[in-house]
Structure 1
Amino acid sequence: MADGLVYCGGMFIKITTSGGRRYVQLVESYRDESGRVKKRTVATLGRADQAGSQLESVIRGLQRLRSDTPPEAGAVATVADVRFESSRALGDVWALTELWDELGFGELRRVFGRTRSRIDVEALVRLMVLNRLCDPTSKLGVLRWLQTVALPRFAPKEVTHQHLLRAMDALVEHQDCVQAALAGLLRPLIDQDLSVVFYDMTTIGVEGQTELAGDLRQFGLSKDGGMRRQFMLGVVQTAEGLPLTHRVWEGNTAEAPTLSTVVQEVLALYPVKRVVLVADRGLLSLDNLEWLRGQRVGGTEQPLEFILAVPGRRYAEFSEILEPIHAQRCAAATREVLGETRWQDLRLVWAHDPRRALEQTAARRQHIGELTQEAQQRAGKLDAQEGGTAFRGRRLSDSGAKAWLYRAVSEAHLGSIIKVDLQSDLFTYVIDDKALARAELGDGKLLLVTNVPELSALEVLRRYKSLADIERGFKILKSEIEIAPVFHRLPDRIRAHALICFIALVLYRVMRMRLKDAGSKLSPERALEQLRRIQYHQVHLGGERRDGTSSLSDADHAILQGLKLPKPAIDDQLALL
């Protein structure tokens, strides 16, 4: 009587019991002339409790029969013929490739179809975008990263550093078409009736000392502090955090003049019926205000609406407005207060945070105290020197003391309060009490200029505070996507690098939106890190190749479900480069 069967094609292993002992038999299944299924014993392999060594010999013999290359004389095939290839990350690049195709970014292939290059530009751009999200590195580093991943639906059989550079050149050559194609793909995700868009700029540090014609790498004041060589990056995004467009400028470009260029581009790319532009302090100027008030949306009579923050350096211009407001509403306030008034036929929404005001006032007075104390010590030393007292070290001069204090108050942005008399022969300075009072009047306050008619002051404030999300976008560009430091020298290569990082930010934000809608607390970075554990495996058994993937965990399933993406599968276009 049979105790168990193990099938293998038309033959199977049968374990039978006879006389209280168990035997292993090789049995063949066949059909007789009438078509009935029958079985016949091909060989008895021995007792089950003694068949270990005999079965190993049979297995080796079968392996010799199946091998394409006959073994050398005397050679014996063993389980050592099983060969495993290095595993490669699949889950993260799979998810991003699926998202790329689902959003329609494969349409970029049509844009690059007009290029003279024979390389697959779309595939190489996709490769560089995925690298920014999975393991951001230099273009040379991309080639090393390629050796650790299995890329789905990737046609090129070879990728070199020159291929990547040529793809970047083609990307810039067709930049306007690429941006128009991206806008077409993103339009379904945007509210066509009312779009609140946010615009801000940041600085991106670059390396290198060479000077080129039309160089974007200029020295300017970094948003991270200090002077450095850099370029400027402006990004427009929706209230939901979806990037719409971007621009690159020289590193010493003033922010305010860039506003008109970016707004015109948004209005041209996205035919929405109504736009509310929200921008930060550095973008408010009288020229910008006049220009914005004259803009219309989509060729209609609908005006372009805006919410702009007033720069702190311009608060003195609003002192006549702020003084009565401060006396009546803010001076005795113990918690944040909010209100609005009129300025140049526009709404001026103001907010006052008493806690923040105390902190700013105390910090300024402390800094003034430290500077004036040091100034008094230097003035005393100058007087003592005049009286004949000798000091160790270099002799102090009035011009040197004036230069030190002027530089110190300028760096502290206290030049309007501590005024150094540069015309005097002696070291002289004064504290302007009225300027100090005007500065303290603005402490803890936020001023917003807007022409949006129906939003309450609170809603205007909330819209502006949502601008902080675009600042988080810049942090993502600088951390997860690692846009900086930039080592490219050529202006077009820098523009291509910025565009690749911008597309990566689009994918990142779409992932974040989907994870958030699914109730997941994971960031896209953490989600990709989890999916990276899904590995592609390849094993060679007796001359035949077998492919497979790691088993998916519950966490993997949850992430893919939240992203609305299918689980990884192996196809003929899985590239191992």
Structure 2
Amino acid sequence: MAIEKWVAQDVYIDQLPAVEVHQALPAMDFLLEAAEAIQREVFWTLANLFNLEVDVIFFDTTTAYFEIEGEDADGLRRWGHSADDHPKMAQVVIGLAVTRDGIPVRCWVWPGNTGDQNVVAEVKRDLNGWKLNRVVVVLDTGFNSEANRRILQGAGDHYIIGEKLRVGPQGVPAEALRRGGKYRRLPDGLEIKEVVVGGDSAARRRFVIVRNPEEAERDRQKRESILAELRQRLEALKQKQGEAHTKAACELRAHETFGRYLRQTRGARLVIDAAKVRREAALDGKFVISSSDDFLPAEDLVYGYKQLWQVERVHRDLKHTVDVRPMYHRLDDRIRSHVLLCWLALLMIRVAENETGQTWRQMRDLVAPIDVGRHATAHGEVWQVRPSPKSRRRCFRP
């Protein structure tokens, strides 16, 4: 929709019946110049007004694509790992810091080929610039590295971060999973076990292993279904001892799902790897997190990590409610300003939802569509905003 039509029909701005594109673009440039100050002041204003919990910050990234051919040789629009399942489209990477109440308090934009491992230092530096109190940053597994964990502990802060279940080319369970100990059951049914690796050395790390019994059963059933199909495919190969592999056998061994459960005998036959099946069964329903904070209770670490869904919800709303994508800007500054505008819109949406207890869709249905126009009065023409007849029938009918 053209911006002129959008301003005329979907929004009300006092004394501004319409706006043209050539007026909006310089305003975007002005907004970008003040981006740092705007984000800082918005955050502190919200923290004071709504008593935001600022001690825990959730961070994650997503991508937004462009409907163009190729990519920029030197700019933001680059090919990379797509969160939108558009690997052949140029994109940008967008980072959001979110409070435990689901309010996005800061945004970042990076080239589309930027990996999660490469953004943590900038995020931590920018958050430090706000001079917050002690902060615990919660991140997913993709950000985990020794260097990033050191960065996250700077200035007396801490992290809660996801860990890989398997390590090495053979997919061996992580060391924390190979340690003994009893699980204890939480009120919601999760089972947790705390493990410390490294003793009192400088390499000491604190892990919490979490097992979800319901998820474990789903994992078991899924694996059994895969193994049943795999047995049928092996039988169909009609392998003979010492014979070279057929094309079908090679394809089965290279299969992304079935190949992980296969091994080759000395006689060159493909069989199900029973040891691998047992290792996988031991991981059913489990995930592992680690933290640099030795004093937070293990259950708080678990529930804190599970709240990363707040960021995932913000990402969904950014794409499907605010419509950050697709983007049609070409200049890097305009792209950054576009994301900043979407962040501001999403910020207002989330604050309104938290204060009213209603979803944004419910609020839109209540007040839209709206009639906006000039109306003659005894004192001259004035602007009036009122619900349309359709909205009045829906919202104010006894």
TM range (shorter): 0.7 to 0.9
**Equivalent in the alignment of 2:201:** none
CA distance in 2, matches of 1:450, 1:528: 41
CA distance in 1, matches of 2:86, 2:303: 31
CA distance in 2, matches of 1:346, 1:255: 22
Alignment-mate amino acid for residue 217 of structure 1: R
Alignment-mate amino acid for residue 168 of structure 1: M
Alignment-mate amino acid for residue 197 of structure 1: I
In the superposition, the TM-score normalised over structure 2's length comes to: 0.80
**Equivalent in the alignment of 1:186:** 43
Q: Matched residue of 2:5: which SS?
A: helix
Distance 1:490 1:361, change over 3 A: farther
Q: 1:418 aligns with which of 262, 266, 289?
A: 262
Residue 169 of structure 1 deviates from its aligned partner by 4.2
Is residue 223 of structure 2 the alignment partner of residue 364 of structure 1? yes
CA distance in 2, matches of 1:546, 1:273: 49
Q: 1:437 aligns with which of 275, 278, 281?
A: 278
Residue 505 of structure 1 deviates from its aligned partner by 1.3
- Cα deviation, 1:17-66, whole Å, max 9, x if unaligned, reads xxxxxxxxxxxxxxxxxxxxxxxxxxxxxxxxxxxxxxxxxxxxxxxxxx
Q: Matched residue of 1:152: which SS?
A: coil
Residue 143 of structure 1 deviates from its aligned partner by 2.2
Distance 1:536 1:292, change over 3 A: closer
Q: 1:243 aligns with which of 78, 88, 104?
A: 104
CA distance in 1, matches of 2:343, 2:382: 39
CA distance in 2, matches of 1:428, 1:216: 50
CA distance in 2, matches of 1:439, 1:450: 25
Is residue 121 of structure 2 the alignment partner of residue 257 of structure 1? no
Distance 1:203 1:265, change over 3 A: same
- Cα deviation, 1:367-388, whole Å, max 9, x if unaligned, reads 34434533553x34x98xx9xx
Alignment-mate amino acid for residue 25 of structure 2: L
CA distance in 2, matches of 1:292, 1:279: 10
Q: 1:452 aligns with which of 269, 289, 293?
A: 293
Q: Is the 8 A contact 1:401 1:427 kept in 2?
A: no
Is residue 347 of structure 2 the alignment partner of residue 506 of structure 1? yes
CA distance in 1, matches of 2:81, 2:235: 31
Distance 1:257 1:480, change over 3 A: same
CA distance in 1, matches of 2:148, 2:310: 23
CA RMSD of aligned residues (A): 3.7
Q: What are the residue-to-residue correspondences of 1:545-556 with 2, within 5 Å? A: 548-550=384-386
Q: Is the 8 A contact 2:52 2:99 kept in 1?
A: no
Q: Is the 8 A contact 1:406 1:420 kept in 2?
A: no
CA distance in 1, matches of 2:228, 2:145: 33
Q: Is the 8 A contact 1:349 1:457 kept in 2?
A: yes
CA distance in 1, matches of 2:162, 2:94: 19
Residue 456 of structure 1 deviates from its aligned partner by 1.3
CA distance in 1, matches of 2:294, 2:52: 19
Q: 1:340 aligns with which of 173, 188, 194?
A: 194
Percent pairwise identity? 24
CA distance in 2, matches of 1:213, 1:405: 40
- Cα deviation, 1:249-282, whole Å, max 9, x if unaligned, reads 23333212222211111111x2112101111121
- Cα deviation, 1:62-93, whole Å, max 9, x if unaligned, reads xxxxxxxxxxxxxxxxxxxxxxxxxxxxxxxx
CA distance in 1, matches of 2:123, 2:352: 25
CA distance in 1, matches of 2:261, 2:111: 33
CA distance in 2, matches of 1:537, 1:226: 42
Q: What are the residue-to-residue correspondences of 1:459-470 with 2, within 5 Å? A: 459-470=300-311
Gaps of 5+ in 1: 1-136, 297-302, 387-396, 517-521, 558-577
Aligned residues: 376
Q: Is the 8 A contact 1:256 1:282 kept in 2?
A: yes
Q: What are the residue-to-residue correspondences of 1:263-274 with 2, within 5 Å? A: 263-268=124-129, 270-274=130-134
CA distance in 2, matches of 1:168, 1:194: 29
Alignment-mate amino acid for residue 435 of structure 1: K
Residue 224 of structure 1 deviates from its aligned partner by 4.7
Q: 2:157 aligns with which of 285, 293, 304?
A: 304
Gaps of 5+ in 2: 199-203
CA distance in 1, matches of 2:45, 2:383: 38
Larger RCO: 1 or 2 (CA < 8 Å, sep 6+) = 1
Q: Is the 8 A contact 1:399 1:427 kept in 2?
A: no
CA distance in 1, matches of 2:30, 2:297: 48
Residue 324 of structure 1 deviates from its aligned partner by 5.3
Q: Is the 8 A contact 2:183 2:193 kept in 1?
A: no
**Equivalent in the alignment of 2:177:** 322
Q: Matched residue of 1:237: which SS?
A: strand
Alignment-mate amino acid for residue 291 of structure 2: T
Q: Matched residue of 2:284: which SS?
A: coil
